Structure 1
Amino acid sequence: MRELDWNLLRTFVVLAQSRSVTEAAAKLRLTQPSVSAALKRLEDRLGKTLIERGPGQFRLTEAGEHLRREAVEVQGSILRIATQMRDVTDEIRGHVRIALASHVVCPLFDRVLAEFHAAHPHATLSLDVRSSAEAVDAVTDKSASLAVCLVRDRNPRLEYHRLYREFFGLFCGPPHPLFGRHGLTQADLAGYAAVGFETDRLGDMLHPVTLMRAQAEMPHQMVGVSSHLEEVRRMIVAGLGVGALPLHVAARDVADGLLWQLPPRDTEPPIDVHVVHNPKTRLNRAERSFLTRLTETIEATPIEARTYR
């Protein structure tokens, strides 16, 4: 075990994220036989079958799933070594990688970004838009400094801070038959097609929004989905169907005549957006500074001032 080759673990991580040896080989730019041989050497070294493979079958065994979790953490730590070495200076430098959901519109977060840049102009940031689940995964495997996203199930290995609360409403675009109509009730939405986010389904992160559609007796099957707010908005404006958006995000489009809010009014479901980070991640100085500034600002700001309608 002391002589375990990291290259074998790296190959296994890619295999675990693929649907076949052929797909993994393409990602690694290696031949299929060399990837198969690497997997065989790793299984021989560990004395465990890691992937059950055969005609139409390619899945991790229990041992493989355990190794995948550990190997992903090791990979994240190795990738951060270079960043740690560059961070030896009196001036705060370094890179902060933030994974965030596309519908994050939060003045408090924007203010922290501005203050951080003013205080540390040589630090850099990247904002990677992902689905909420992917953002949490990035924090778990240490490839992101922190995430700003919706949360469904809390991982006890991660830490969570509620950043803000938003409210979702239902909207339609100018081509839709309900656009511009006053005096509508929730019952008027029955039977109309819907568009929405990939997490807009029962038991998922936008569960309250799914219930709101169900109460209006709209079809369960959506005609269009996306993990990006901009694309959900595009489908609503284009008239593909009724869709849910955060009220404070849609306000400008409503004022510009591009969106029309539908019932229910004043009973829109609240959705909390969280900052998520991994306490086991060895942060560089820029990451520590940004996370500290953000969490301290959250704690110092009453939730009423972080609630947007």
Structure 2
Amino acid sequence: MDWNLLRTFMVIVQEKGITSAAEKLRLKQPTISNALRRLEGHFDCRLIERRPGIFEVTPAGQRLYAECVVLFNTVSGLHALVHDQPDEVTGRIEMAFASHVVCPFLDEALAEFHRHNPRVTFATSVLSSQEVITAVARKDAAFGVCLMHERNPKLQFQPLYRESFGYFCGRQHHLFGKRGVSMEDLRAEPYVSFKTDQMADALWPIAMLRQQEEFTGLVIGTSSHLEEVKRLIIAGFGFGPLPIHVVEDDVRNGLLWRLPPYENPPEIIVYLVYDPTARRSRAEALLLERLLTQIDATPLERRTYPSVA
């Protein structure tokens, strides 16, 4: 087999199309199409269903893609394997994060890992939580940090930290700067939130609070990214939930104003997600071992933000 066919197939799946793959590889579209046909001919099965407006990787294609990722990760590490000093760890670690992950515990763990392994390089992506889970499942990322939308039985979800959400409004909002605001005052107010602010989704504690308080205000805007939810709140579209510790500087700078509830705000768990069966490079294995060891050694109360103290 021509290994270039596997490389081409992997890029086709990652780029979700023949044309995009051709641009990525700087080849002509007929060349990419021909490579896919040759690969399907070699395996005597359909790997990608492609018709006008439809691009779907078949189950056989999904299995082949997973093996291609493992294969090329192994090949890319051969040079380091041959040339590294026995005790020197090198390599590249791909990580995927949900938007605006703020976790001093994780930052300290990564800083310690870097001090001991300065030649390991990192590449990070910022995605929605569901996209993070998909990236880890497809082995596009070695680890992910995200909310748990729906537990993938093939992945491991380890609680990394806990964060409290509060309601906030921006300077344009008529409740900005007012004290003594009650939950009743919020019930009919326009609302801005995350797409996962649903009873059957990752931010269900916030959705439950909203349901219990019988909020009836129009939902003006939603997003999968914290920065965009915050942007709409600051712009005065409505009030909405944000992680309290993440927006502390915005409150101090007068961009946001905290609204009730002030006690017992809803709490959300953020997870470290990884594939326990994945073949890992030495660098990936060492980092995962370090993270899991430090998580086990640190009570969740010390990984809760804002700090309980």
1:256 matched to 2:253: yes
Match of 2:60 among 43, 48, 63: 63
Root mean square deviation of aligned Cα: 2.9
**How far 1:243 moved relative to its partner?**
2.6
**How far 1:82 moved relative to its partner?**
4.2
Task: For 1:163 and 1:297, locate their aligned partners in 2 and report how far apart those are by CA, in whole Å.
Answer: 10
Match of 1:223 among 204, 221, 237: 221
Shift in alpha-carbon separation, 1:276–1:175, aligned structure 2, 3 A:
same
Shift in alpha-carbon separation, 1:117–1:72, aligned structure 2, 3 A:
closer
Q: Tell me, yes or no, if the aligned pair for 1:76 and 1:141 is still in contact at 8 Å.
A: no
Give the TM-score normalised by structure 1.
0.83
Task: For 2:96 and 2:80, locate their aligned partners in 1 and report how far apart those are by CA, in whole Å.
Answer: 18
Task: For 1:218 and 1:77, locate their aligned partners in 2 and report how far apart those are by CA, in whole Å.
Answer: 53
Shift in alpha-carbon separation, 1:125–1:274, aligned structure 2, 3 A:
same
Structure 1 segment 1-309 matched on structure 2, within 5 A: 3=1, 5-18=2-15, 20-85=17-82, 87-201=84-198, 203-213=200-210, 215-220=214-219, 222-227=220-225, 229-309=226-306
Task: Look up the equivalent residue of 1:100 and give its one-letter code.
Answer: F
DSSP-derived class of the 1:183 partner: coil
Shift in alpha-carbon separation, 1:88–1:301, aligned structure 2, 3 A:
same
1:164-220 CA deviation, whole Å, 9 max, x = no partner? 111112211111122122333334334444334454445332333344445422334
Moved over 6 A (4+): none
**How far 1:30 moved relative to its partner?**
2.0
Q: Tell me, yes or no, if the aligned pair for 1:77 and 1:281 is still in contact at 8 Å.
A: no
Task: For 2:209 and 2:80, locate their aligned partners in 1 and report how far apart those are by CA, in whole Å.
Answer: 46
Task: For 2:29 and 2:113, locate their aligned partners in 1 and report how far apart those are by CA, in whole Å.
Answer: 47
Aligned length: 304
Task: For 1:61 and 1:282, locate their aligned partners in 2 and report how far apart those are by CA, in whole Å.
Answer: 23
**How far 1:39 moved relative to its partner?**
1.9
Task: Look up the equivalent residue of 1:302 and give its one-letter code.
Answer: P
Task: Look up the equivalent residue of 1:23 and give its one-letter code.
Answer: S
**How far 1:240 moved relative to its partner?**
3.0
**How far 1:118 moved relative to its partner?**
3.2
Segments of structure 1 that go 5 or more residues without pairing to the other structure are none
1:217-246 CA deviation, whole Å, 9 max, x = no partner? 2334x425252x334333322323323211
DSSP-derived class of the 2:41 partner: helix
Give the TM-score normalised by structure 2.
0.83
DSSP-derived class of the 1:147 partner: strand
DSSP-derived class of the 1:41 partner: helix
Q: Tell me, yes or no, if the aligned pair for 1:8 and 1:39 is still in contact at 8 Å.
A: yes
Identity of aligned residues (%): 46
Task: Look up the equivalent residue of 1:163 and give its one-letter code.
Answer: L
DSSP-derived class of the 1:22 partner: helix
